[in-house]
């Protein structure tokens, strides 16, 4: 089992290679009962978005969250998608054009380097934040920058407490092509949410391997 976490350059290369087939690969997760879209919806629900809001999607990838976010913020709202991979953002841009969305901005950036605009109402990250070694600093920064009452919500993976080690290893082998390594199981973004936000709520899914955590600044 690989323990070494990949560099930012390696992660960027992996997701650039995945870009053309990424959406299809996530659909295949349904075959093992992994409800990717449901977890995304639950994370977005945790933002308590309103029409006209500005929401940032950190690690937006191909823009899979955009259609749900559009329904929440409406055409007067703003969606800012941030991703490290130019190839993933190219796919996101094609999605935006296909739907004729005029309120989506795409930014190529490491999420750790992205400056939160002053008018931001909510920050989302789905299955991306754990990949950053600076996840705690990112969460703290978002909590500090958001105005009181504004929200952050994440959907992430974690090591289930009751799973035997062999099952964890099998699962990690399946996720290896996405850049996931065993060392990622030591990362705890939900604890950072609890620490840096005034209020936080967490729900676990898929036998404890998935969680959604939301916080109020």
Render pLDDT for 141-164 as a digit per residue (tens, 0 to 9).
999 999 999 999 999 999 888 888
Report which of 119, 117, 92, 95 is spatially closest to residue 106, judged by C-alpha positions: 92
Would you say residue 77 lies in a domain? yes
Provide the H-helix boundaries in 74-134: 86-99
189 domain-assigned:
yes
For residue 64, being part of any structural domain is answered with yes
- Count of structural domains, the chain: 1
| d(C-alpha 43, C-alpha 41), whole Å | 5
**Residue 136, domain member (yes or no):** yes
Query: Does 180 reside within a domain?
Result: yes
For 98-136, write each residue's pLDDT tens digit: 999 999 999 999 999 999 999 999 999 999 999 999 999
* 3 occurs within a structural domain: no
**pLDDT tens digits for 158-195?**
988 888 888 878 877 777 777 777 778 889 999 999 99
Residue 90: give the domain boundaries: 8-216
The reply to whether 2 falls in a domain is no
The CATH number given to whatever domain includes residue 94 is 3.40.50.150
**Does the residue 181 lie in any domain?**
yes
Rg (CA), the chain: 16
């Amino acid at each position: 089992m690989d323990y070494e976490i990949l560099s930012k350059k390696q992660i960027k290369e992996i997701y650039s290679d995945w870009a053309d087939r990424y959406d299809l690969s996530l659909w295949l997760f349904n075959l093992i009962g992994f409800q990717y879209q449901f977890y995304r919806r639950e994370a977005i629900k945790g933002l308590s978005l309103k029409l006209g809001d500005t929401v940032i999607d950190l690690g937006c990838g191909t823009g899979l969250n955009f259609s749900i976010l559009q329904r929440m913020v409406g055409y007067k709202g703003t969606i800012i998608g941030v991703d490290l991979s130019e190839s993933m953002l190219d796919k996101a841009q094609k999605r935006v054009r296909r739907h004729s969305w005029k309120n989506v901005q795409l930014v190529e950036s490491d999420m750790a380097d992205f400056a939160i605009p002053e008018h931001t109402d909510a920050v989302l990250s789905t299955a991306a934040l754990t990949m950053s070694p600076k996840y705690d600093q990112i969460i703290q920064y978002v909590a500090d920058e958001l105005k009181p009452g504004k929200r952050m919500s994440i959907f992430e993976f974690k090591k289930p407490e009751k799973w035997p080690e062999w099952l964890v290893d099998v699962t990690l082998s399946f996720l290896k092509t996405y850049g996931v390594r065993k060392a990622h199981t030591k990362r705890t973004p939900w604890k950072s949410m609890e620490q840096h936000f005034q209020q936080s709520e967490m729900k676990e899914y898929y036998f404890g391997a998935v969680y959604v955590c939301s916080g109020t600044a």
